[in-house]
Amino acid sequence: MTPNSPKSSAVEATKNSETNSAASRLRNLLVVLAAIALAASMFFGLRTQTPSSSLTEMAKASAPIETALTNGKPTLMEFYANWCGSCQAMAKDLSEIKQKYAEPLNFVMLNVDNDKWLPEITKYRVDGIPHFVYLNNKGSAVAQTIGEAPRSIMEANLEALIAGKELPHAQSVGQVSNFTPATGPTKTSSSDPRAHGSQVQ
């Protein structure tokens, strides 16, 4: 068989096709494996460091409101929710601020999704979150701010609160997540068969 014969060309074409096909399959397999590894690392990385879990952890570590109102220390009270993007955006800075000012201040976090805090939500007129209430050492509100705030503004307010001075940024308003508080029990229609006390007709 001569090198340029039709049979040798067909054999070479078949070999090249098989080589290209094998290389292509290997490349595709490597791409799929890399994609799976990347997706798994992102999934596990996000699960272990989600802002909502850090908000929950921060809330668990915060002072009980009853203690904060009676222990003679000024207090920063935050109304938040795990779904609140602005709350999540501030979580890292607030965590560091709480560590820095842990001794002279109380930090209280109240989740607006918990009906238990409805009296406080109503008292402080919370309609956007994060909503911060600055309480003096007697437990009285001296200022409120709403929305995202830079760390420098939060720290300036806290320094003034600790010193018993007027807060320099007492009326600051940043980006908020809207929140409409519940005002009472939800009413059900009397025609709804699941309503308590309804008659089946």
**What pLDDT, in 10s, does the model give residues 44-56?**
655 444 455 689 9
Instruction: Kindly name the residue from 87, 97, 108, 110 that is annotated as catalytic.
Output: 87
Residue 15 has a pLDDT of: 65
**What pLDDT, in 10s, does the model give residues 73-103?**
999 999 999 999 999 999 999 999 999 999 9
* H or E stretch covering 141: strand 141-146
Q: Count CA within 13 A, CB hemisphere, residue 163.
A: 10
Rounded distance, CA 178 to CA 131, Å?
A: 11
Quote the mean pLDDT of the chain. 81
Which residues make beta-bridge pairs with 183?
A: none
Residue appearing with tokens 């229609």: 189
**What pLDDT, in 10s, does the model give residues 109-134?**
999 999 999 999 999 999 999 999 99
Residue 72 has a pLDDT of: 95
In residues, how long is the chain?
201
Sorting pLDDT into bands at 50, 70 and 90, what band is 186? very low
- Whether residue 188 has pLDDT greater than 50: no
Could you tell me the two tokens for 128?
């956007």
Could you tell me the two tokens for 144?
């409120």
Closest CA to 76 of 111, 112, 101: 101
Amino acid code (one letter) for 52: S
188 counts as catalytic: no
- Whether residue 155 has pLDDT greater than 50: yes
Residue 172 has a pLDDT of: 63
84 counts as catalytic: yes
Residue ranges of alpha helices (H) inside 49-138 are: 51-61, 65-68, 85-100, 118-123
Q: State the average pLDDT over residues 179-199.
A: 48
29/178: higher pLDDT: 29
Amino acid code (one letter) for 201: Q
Instruction: Kindly name the residue from 63, 76, 84, 142 that is annotated as catalytic.
Output: 84
Residue appearing with tokens 């609140």: 84
User: Which pTM value belongs to this model?
Assistant: 0.63
Rounded to a whole number of angstroms, the CA Rg of the chain reads 30
Highest mean pLDDT among 4-13, 30-39, 95-104: 95-104
- Whether residue 196 has pLDDT greater than 50: no
Closest CA to 88 of 129, 125, 122: 129
Closest CA to 110 of 135, 131, 94, 95: 131
Residue 21 has a pLDDT of: 79
Q: State the average pLDDT over residues 4-24.
A: 67
